[in-house]
Structure 1
Amino acid sequence: MYPIVLLSVFGIVTLFLGFSKSKNILLPSVLLFLAIALASNFVDWNQGPLLYFYDMLRVNNLTLAFNGIVLISAFMIVAISGGFQDNADSEPAEYYALMLLSLVGAIMMIGFEHLIMLFIGVEILSIAMYILTGSNKRNLRSNEAALKYFLMGAFASGFMLFGMALLYGATGSFSLSGIQAFVSIGHAAMPSYILYAGLLLLLIGMLFKVSAAPFHFWTPDVYEGAPTIFTTFMSTIVKTAGFAAIYRLLDHSFTNIYSFWWIVVAAIAILTLMVGNIGATSQSSFKRMLAYSGISHAGYLLIAVTALSKPTQNAIVFYSLAYSLSTICAFAVLILVSKEKTIDGQPDERYDAFNGLAKSNPFLAFVLTVSMLSLAGIPLTAGFWGKFFVFTSAADRGIIWITVIAVLMSTVGIYYYFRVIIAAYLKEGDVSQIRVAPFYQVILVLATFFTLLFGIAPGLLEGII
């Protein structure tokens, strides 16, 4: 697992780079580190299942694909960070080091073969996020968001640990293979209620990390209070790693008790879709809307997990990639626009901030439009095929009713996503022309291009895993 080793070393090197007199070296250095980690990730491609770190991490094409999504997302997010030059009190080396080290936790979550490795990965990722959420120390909203995230995250970690302890008590093993062996052989003779309780508690802890209802209460406040660049990191990388871990856990070890847990996950998926989509309709803040949007997309991904059919694997990978590209573009445009307009000294993150954007900044309006269309699942965008593949996986399992509900909730999503497009193209505003750095433009162009490319030719990723 080369990225884990490299990112750990690069994170420490980044801290030392912070002692240099010029901060300008940090951004290109971190981008180079991420590019090297991304290249090293695919060294093991098509090498078959490999075990590392005393058989506690498993590497196969699926884990490498998720790692690739996480590392590409991180590269894009760092590229639009601008070196954190807008905050005179910031210490970019610390921020970048935390981001690099948090990726180590994300990769551990994606490829875990042992529950202890899962817990370590979750905590490495989470603790970095708690710190980055409260990194704007002069902003009370940021402080409040960090405290809420930390307290609720601590409770979620407690649930996870209790669930792992019960699973060990029921199966006598922390490894996924050992749990699978018990579930398929030992559990067949007599149902184990300790096993059921352990699985549910572990799922509660994991569902908190991906903002699934009813464990979502932290999400809107934390997304709104955290600096936008770290909200982008949280809404894409944390969600991708979380769903990769949930899918791996259920698919590898608990398929034999599918009849027990599928209805629980299905109920949570429906509740998550309703809370996310209905909650987003009443928001006046674009950033807060994206928080509820993230909740709703967790619901769609949970549908694929619920189905656990043959298309599920490709559906989760494709959906995660499509969601990450669109979300990063949306937040990237928000970062640029909100800097130009302020309310009480704070960036303007309302829908009204985008009024008239198309007239003064047609490029940014187009990027924002494509990202909104993709998140809404409109045809000719990657988001449409992401939802299509999720619905196909549910239909393949025969769970048609959950697909019907999801389609209805998708129509609700069109309302609040199109509010942004209407504001940009049909409303009058005073947005001045915004200067976009060349590399920033490159990132937006590439993300938008691939969003449209995968919307037109989704088969490009078919069969690579």
Structure 2
Amino acid sequence: MTPVIALSLFGIINLFLGFTFKRQSLQVVTLLFIICSMALTAMDWNHEYLWFGDMMKTNNLSINFSLIIQLAGLLVVAFSNGFGKDEVYTQPAEYYAILLFSLVGALLMVSFQNLIMLFVGLEILSVAMYVLTGSDKRNLRSNEAALKYFLMGSFATGFLLFGIALVYGSTRSLYISGILYNLSHTAPESLPSFLYAGIILMGIGLLFKISAAPFHFWTPDVYEGAPTIFTMFMSTVVKTAGFAAIYHILDVTFGGFQKNWIITVYFITIITLILGNISAAYQQSAKRMLAFSSISHAGYMLLTVCANQPSTSSNILYYSLAYTLATAVSFAVLMVVAEYQTGRTEKPENFDALNGLAKNNPSLAFAFTVALLSLAGIPLTAGFWGKFFVFTDMFNKNLTYPIIIAVLMSAVGIYYYFKGIISVYFNSGEIEKIETSFLFKIALWSACIGTLVLGIYPTLLKSIF
């Protein structure tokens, strides 16, 4: 897979460029690297290839997921203009190289045809995130978040590996094609019972990565403690890659055994929706609110996985893109406001720190509002159609009670998302004009316009997905 090879080489090159290039130039170079990788990915459109000993497969579905992941990486790099400010404690080349390597892991997770390749991709992505979470070495919250993430992530990896071992023992293959062949040529009553345990254990390992309850406890602390730019990366790239892997495992590989895992996943989905939305409503920190919001959106996307309709894959892609654009914008605005408020208020990431943003920064306020409206699922934004397509899948599956719960939790979501909008426009406060870089503005408005365009013309990309 050429993008995987290219990003690996680009990451290594980036480390060496750190010795010769100016710190500010590395951001532009990294953006060009990701754009080049996206072009290589798009060149495989309408072609199916098997790579690396048939352990990876390129098709239109994996290409779409890969492009969304790389788009998220592109936005993160464009928003990361603060890497070069502290010349004593930071080296941008290291951060950008780790980001590129983590994208390699994410691409492996959306293209795997062998369970070992899934594990390798997951670990490449995870180890990079452990490092980036604790990258602010002078911040105790960052150190604590990295340790929590590492310990709980390692524990979740154990579940995944144990599940892979049980599946291999049941089907005598690690290849998806071999697993499907053996399952189709074996009577259901002849399959060992530990196969179903293996499916559940693999699901637990992946559900941890997308912050589904009850495996979500790490999320608010890690999101809050990590530097905001890396929190943005976690909530977009990691979640999209995780959902691509979950869909591939549950609906594609073991879709024929849905009755053995569907009750468990339904229970997890409902608990995720309730805990994520109710907890978010009580938060005073905008960053922790977005963390619990991320948990709730994992519940919405799990609903369409449970529905397992012909449109499920395209709905997950659309929801992932809508969520990525809105989340990147909301974290970007929160990041620049928190940087401005540091030293001026005790808690620069609280909703109070956003008071009066619209007065002198109308563009930031508008972008933040569009992002929150999309996350809330308000019409004329991409987030509305993302939820609409999910609810349509559930309706076609006759999932009455989950639909009711999802709609009620969406109403709760409107409440806590509008807390941010009220702070920006209606609460009294004084925030001076915040200067941002040209790349920051381009990325912010591109994501904001994309959210509105997809909300007005949802079929623009739905036909491609």
Q: Who is 1:192 aligned against?
A: 192
Q: Who is 2:60 aligned against?
A: 61
Map 1:91-240 → 2, pairs under 5 A: 91-240=91-240
8 Å contact 1:284–1:351 — kept in the other structure? yes
Q: Who is 1:70 aligned against?
A: 69
Q: Deviations for 1:98-148, whole angstroms, at most 9, x for unmatched residues?
A: 000000000000010000000000000000000000000000000000000
Q: Who is 2:78 aligned against?
A: 79
1:39 aligns with 2:39: yes
Map 1:47-446 → 2, pairs under 5 A: 47=47, 49-82=48-81, 84-88=83-87, 89-343=89-343, 348-446=348-446
8 Å contact 2:318–2:462 — kept in the other structure? no
After superposition, the Cα gap between the structure-2 partners of 1:187 and 1:179, relative to the gap in structure 1 and judged at 3 Å, is: farther
1:345 Cα offset (Å): 8.7
8 Å contact 2:56–2:111 — kept in the other structure? yes
Instruction: Report SS of the residue matched to 1:46.
Output: coil
**CA–CA distance in 2 between the matches of 1:103 and 1:238?**
9
Letter in 2 for 1:86: K
After superposition, the Cα gap between the structure-2 partners of 1:389 and 1:278, relative to the gap in structure 1 and judged at 3 Å, is: same
1:181 Cα offset (Å): 2.0
Instruction: Report SS of the residue matched to 2:166.
Output: helix
**CA–CA distance in 1 between the matches of 2:222 and 2:345?**
20
**CA–CA distance in 2 between the matches of 1:338 and 1:86?**
16
Q: Who is 1:28 aligned against?
A: 28
Q: Deviations for 1:399-458, whole angstroms, at most 9, x for unmatched residues?
A: 122111101100000011000000011110121111122221111111111100010110
Instruction: Report SS of the residue matched to 1:197.
Output: helix
The CA RMSD over aligned residues, in Å, is 1.2
After superposition, the Cα gap between the structure-2 partners of 1:346 and 1:36, relative to the gap in structure 1 and judged at 3 Å, is: farther
8 Å contact 1:70–1:237 — kept in the other structure? yes
**CA–CA distance in 1 between the matches of 2:259 and 2:184?**
13
**CA–CA distance in 1 between the matches of 2:451 and 2:292?**
21
Q: Deviations for 1:183-214, whole angstroms, at most 9, x for unmatched residues?
A: 33314243421100101111000000000000
8 Å contact 1:24–1:83 — kept in the other structure? no
8 Å contact 1:8–1:101 — kept in the other structure? yes
8 Å contact 2:338–2:353 — kept in the other structure? yes
1:461 Cα offset (Å): 1.0
8 Å contact 1:56–1:114 — kept in the other structure? yes
The normalised TM-score by structure 2 is 0.98
1:217 Cα offset (Å): 0.4
Instruction: Report SS of the residue matched to 1:18.
Output: helix
Instruction: Report SS of the residue matched to 1:186.
Output: coil
Moved more, 173-182 or 270-279: 173-182
8 Å contact 2:272–2:298 — kept in the other structure? yes
**CA–CA distance in 1 between the matches of 2:176 and 2:363?**
48
**CA–CA distance in 2 between the matches of 1:25 and 1:245?**
35
**CA–CA distance in 1 between the matches of 2:243 and 2:23?**
35
Letter in 2 for 1:375: L
Letter in 2 for 1:29: V
**CA–CA distance in 2 between the matches of 1:69 and 1:214?**
27
Q: Which runs of 4+ in 1 moved over 6 A?
A: 344-347
Q: Give the aligned length.
A: 464
Identical columns (%): 55
Q: Deviations for 1:270-305, whole angstroms, at most 9, x for unmatched residues?
A: 000011000101111000110000000000000011
**CA–CA distance in 1 between the matches of 2:126 and 2:187?**
33
Q: Who is 1:463 aligned against?
A: 463
1:256 Cα offset (Å): 1.2
1:252 Cα offset (Å): 2.0
